[in-house]
Amino acid sequence: MLADTHCHLDMLKNMEVALERARTAGVGLIITIGIDLESSQKAVEIAHQYDYVWAAVGIHPHEAKTVREQTYKELEALAQDPKVVAIGEIGLDFYRNLSPKEVQIRVFKRQIELAKALAKPIIIHCREAIPETWSVLEETDGFCCRGVWHCFPGDVNLAQRCMKKGFYISIPGIVTFPKAERLRRVVKETPLEWLLIETDAPFLAPVPMRGKPNEPAFLRYTAQKVAEIKECELNEVARTTTQNACKLFGINIS
């Protein structure tokens, strides 16, 4: 059984059909992620419709500029839901800079404080902002939340630093792309016990689906690539990464 630890089910064109295909492809656990209040609300609703779907609620750095004081209150209320397993996705994106940098940092810090108060793990989004993200985590003692660095953007060195702090490394479909040598090295050098896998659907479809809208069923290609790199069976990748997800997010599956 595979666990898709990061996707945006509310953004899929035909979610129900995609979920059927996911089940057929062996995806038995899905975490659907919020990027603003509205999508966080939807994530919670979807998680209540399907017993194998859980939710994360949070404000993406792109949306940081829309945050008001009230936003944190509503987010906190949403996060109390029993199907909410994490605060995310939160972080910094200095590649697209859709919100001013200082606003992104402020909103990131506040959400780390929220995660600490609620004792929930965090799901980090980081693009072109590795040193800044690390500094925020140190300043806020955000590492104590535990969590995952989603769509891992770093090298082996960063992966090792994350692991030492109790953070998981999440491997997206990019690992199948011809140019993703650095990410494949991360997979090679990181113990399976510290890896998660994700689709980030509807974005970033893996080869051979690259260019199409991504969906959780395509997680299989990413899992296969990880197995190939680690020279182990697909089953072992599936079992271990699912166990990791259950452990981090406190999910019990029978």
Q: Could you say whether residue 42 binds Zn ion (CB under 5 A)?
A: no
Nearest CB to Zn ion, comparing residues 218 and 227? 218
Task: Give the count of residues interacting with Zn ion (CB under 5 A).
Answer: 3
Which residue number has the CB closest to Zn ion? 125
Nearest CB to Zn ion, comparing residues 5 and 240? 5
Query: How far apart, in whole angstroms, are the C-alpha atoms of residue 196 and residue 150?
Result: 9
Q: What is the DSSP letter of 205?
A: P
The region of 10-18, 159-167, 192-200, 209-217 touching Zn ion under the rule CB under 5 A is 192-200
* 28, amino acid identity: G
Nearest CB to Zn ion, comparing residues 202 and 237? 202
Token couple for 159: 């992966």
Q: What is the DSSP letter of 218?
A: G
Nearest CB to Zn ion, comparing residues 151 and 227? 151
Between residue 160 and residue 179, which ones bind Zn ion under the rule CB under 5 A? none
- Sketch the per residue contact string, 55 through 94, with Zn ion: x for CB under 5 A, - otherwise: ----------------------------------x-----
Q: How far is the CB of 254 from Zn ion (least distance, A)?
A: 28
Nearest CB to Zn ion, comparing residues 174 and 229? 174
Token couple for 40: 């966080």
Nearest CB to Zn ion, comparing residues 36 and 89? 89
Given 110, 120, 125, 146, the residue binding Zn ion (CB under 5 A): 125
Residue with tokens 């399976």: 192
Secondary structure class of 250 (helix, strand, coil): coil
Token couple for 180: 């993703």
Q: How far is the CB of 93 from Zn ion (least distance, A)?
A: 8
- Burial zone of 74 (CB within 10 Å; 0-12 exposed, 13-18 middle, 19+ buried): middle
Nearest to 222 by CA among 204, 240, 245, 246: 204
- Burial zone of 70 (CB within 10 Å; 0-12 exposed, 13-18 middle, 19+ buried): exposed
Q: Site residues (CB under 5 A) for Zn ion? A: 89, 125, 200
